Structure 1
């Protein structure tokens, strides 16, 4: 009775041995390893750099659109059937500020009537200079997005003092070039503490002289009922649906259902959303193309590697290595190359994106949380690129491989 020969079990490669074989294969051909890693490094660097530069340009452009009023709404008193203004409730700024899409709220009160504003007392009282008086509560200029060309604004520390902030046109008409000068408002002297840059998002402020609410209430005691009324609430919101935001703000300003006027630049808001979507899609497509180029480099180099190592493949097959062992060896080697190249590419691309943004004076908008994802994507691309060469190597029989050698 003949003995049965035991069935030979397939050789199982330990992970440590697999990694060692991949490292020896990569380190033994330093020049080719560098070239293969360079391909994926350049692909990842292009992805990180271009996406970072595009994000910085996107952030700068969106900031400009926001400065023009893409996310700025103005809440004002509406009118009734008799075309009379319906005052806003005193709690309107508070209820508006509670809305989730609201970032900042700035309030301007109703100014006294027939205010005269001059450089000094030598100007004839009959001459008008088309300047308006605006009364603000602290924080109003921040909500508008107005910036100061010189000096500082009105806050809780000085709103009870006779100080004024001039719009850009108002400063020009009054001949005031810098803070520290003084002007005459209804026969009372006011010190100029700031001059605004042009504010295209709130053009009425360009020709306005702005004073604090607390000082105005004390200066015009006979008009406290009028001055205490809200004339406009500037609301800075998160970018989104302008029409939906308009309805929300109107209800928040007067939950009782009174007439409320809410104006917003729907065209700017729509342009902002379109620009954001387009630039995001562009950055994504650039990344896909860059990674594809890096993957092709890995695939080409791995095909050449398989052709040069036919003798090694034949010897391993003759010693009992299975096609699966060969396949895993070359896939692991491709993953190792893409890992090294991906790390170098991320460092190079991030440095390039930060340098370009800094030199252009744009905000650094590199998404740091996406860098590990870019590295993982590079490794995945390397694995996919190595599948075909690895399968080609696994199909070689020991005889074919050794004959070719």
Structure 2
């Protein structure tokens, strides 16, 4: 019998070693890894953060300084009476002397919703003299006006000395002099403790209790002698009908208030009521608001663009400088996701540090400049927080490309680079 030889047994093929599975990093480890490059290269990290902080500080300054300048400009324009309206009675066609407004017109105007304040003056058609021996014609051009107690606040006037008409003294024979009328009558500042001077109006003596500074919004008051409303009724035979009415309204509703003022003041003959149009300063104020808004957007966009380019450039250079480190980590089993996370975290950390420093630097610079210019500082916590968040977002966007580029390097390619 022929022995049948069995075929030789085939040796088992050697098994391939299993590819190591990268360890998933916790957020704390990822942050520590991202801070590694910052700790090792402190000077480079400081210079990179400095570039970012300069960009963010620029953003803070170019928004805070123009906003503060705008606020100062708005205050100056508001001081010009952008929300002040002046209504007066005019004579009918063929008439001679100007007519007066209805006695209840001030109360009617105060009932208009957007009206904040209303006051009136009325010509008493009397003359004023320094003494009974003075020629009445010597003070032509100085008018004696009955005035409401709210007149000073309504027209934005201030006192040079003394006090204005109040609830306690407007019923008595007391007067307040305009700045020019005080000069014409020969009175200087009123000094406490000294006897109050007096003037003679309609053969009656009135005590001077105050002198006004010049009133830019109502220059006719500079040449006036103001008597309390009730005192004018009792002492001068005043009939209670105003001739000029001043109204303060909400700035956004000035035009609407102006449209309804004539019919409100005099429903019977609104055509005999002349109302000044809103000040040209109001139009200038609104135009400047629009211009400043466009300026803010443009400057903020430029600053953000410059900051983003700086971060991206810093991270690209960092990848080129650390190719050996990347290759060594890849050879030791680090996955592409870990490399991406490392460089993206480092970019966010640099942007965060630079952004925080930039916010502080920008706030300090804006505060110093506005203080020197005597402007109100316009800088909200929301703006600073949004700017810091924008810096972190810039770090994320700017670090995406360098992080992806670093993760695509193979170990051999990275380690072979010199």
TM-score tier after normalising by the smaller chain length: 0.7 to 0.9
CA distance in 1, matches of 2:150, 2:344: 61
Partner of 2:184: 173
Partner of 2:66: 54
Q: Cα–Cα, structure 1 residues 29 and 8, in superposed 2: closer, same or farther, change >3 Å?
A: closer
Which of these two proteins has the greater Rg computed from alpha carbons?
2
Partner of 2:7: none
CA distance in 2, matches of 1:126, 1:254: 35
Partner of 2:3: none
Q: Deviations over 1:38-71 (max 9, x none)?
A: 1222222222223222122212222222222222
Residue from 93, 111, 129 that aligns with 2:140: 129
Say if 2:128 and 2:136, in contact at 8 Å, map to a contact too. Answer: no
Say if 1:52 and 1:367, in contact at 8 Å, map to a contact too. Answer: no
Partner of 2:9: none
Q: Deviations over 1:318-360 (max 9, x none)?
A: 3343333322322222222222222222222222222222222
Partner of 1:32: 44
Partner of 1:315: 328
CA distance in 1, matches of 2:400, 2:186: 75
The TM-score normalised by the length of structure 1 is 0.85
RMSD: 3.2
Residue from 62, 69, 87 that aligns with 2:101: 87
CA distance in 1, matches of 2:129, 2:31: 83
Residue from 150, 156, 162 that aligns with 1:139: 150
Q: Cα–Cα, structure 1 residues 166 and 128, in superposed 2: closer, same or farther, change >3 Å?
A: closer
CA distance in 2, matches of 1:146, 1:363: 22
In the TM superposition, what are the counterparts of 1:158-197 in structure 2 within 5 Å? 158-180=169-191, 182-186=197-201, 187-197=203-213
Instruction: For residue 201 of structure 1, give the secondary structure of its aligned residue in structure 2.
Output: coil
Partner of 2:122: 110
Residue from 279, 282, 285 that aligns with 2:292: 279
Instruction: For residue 140 of structure 2, give the secondary structure of its aligned residue in structure 1.
Output: coil
CA distance in 2, matches of 1:93, 1:369: 43
Q: Which moved more, 1:82-91 or 1:309-318?
A: 82-91
Q: Number of residues paired by the alignment?
A: 398
Q: Deviations over 1:219-278 (max 9, x none)?
A: 23x33xx2x223333223333465334225556656889555432335221111001211
Instruction: For residue 264 of structure 1, give the secondary structure of its aligned residue in structure 2.
Output: coil
The TM-score normalised by the length of structure 2 is 0.83
Residue from 185, 207, 211 that aligns with 2:227: 211
Structure 1 residues not aligned, in runs of 5+ = none
